[in-house]
Amino acid sequence: MNLRNVSVQLAALALIIILIGCAATQKSGPFQAQYDPKLIEPEVVVKNNTTMEIELQLTGPEARTMHIPANATEKMTVKPGDYFFTASAFGVQPISGNSTFAKNYRYTWAFHIVAVRY
């Protein structure tokens, strides 16, 4: 084995180590997903940046409801899979959609209320 082959192999190994060590992020519906190899079940983190309580309902492999007080952050773990979600607050139009939650990922969603004039 010559020195050039050893250099190429070491460079490839270094690239693999760098990629494994990076925090991968992706979008999953409105959620920002971040890879965390320590998480067995998906973790859902909801940041409520409003002055009202928000209710988040998830329906999928399991049904879960989360109540997030005003200006607070709450988190929960869920079973991996496809979910339908609805987020609502008193006097605000709810939003809903679909998201997939995979093991080894933390999903973060920050809420803001935007006033729209018609």
What is the pTM (predicted TM-score) of this model? Answer: 0.71
Higher pLDDT, 18 or 89: 89
Higher pLDDT, 1 or 62: 62
Higher pLDDT, 11 or 29: 29
Mean pLDDT score across all residues of the chain: 79
What tokens were used for 116?
A: 């729209």
End-to-end CA distance of the chain: 72
pLDDT tens for 34-64 read: 999 999 999 999 999 989 999 999 999 999 9
Indicate the pLDDT class of residue 116, thresholds 50, 70 and 90: low
CB 86 within 8 A of CB 56: yes
What tokens were used for 80?
A: 């991996």
Q: State yes or no: pLDDT of 16 exceeds 70.
A: no
CA angle centred on 112, ends 90 and 104, rounded to 5°: 105
Q: State yes or no: pLDDT of 114 exceeds 80.
A: no
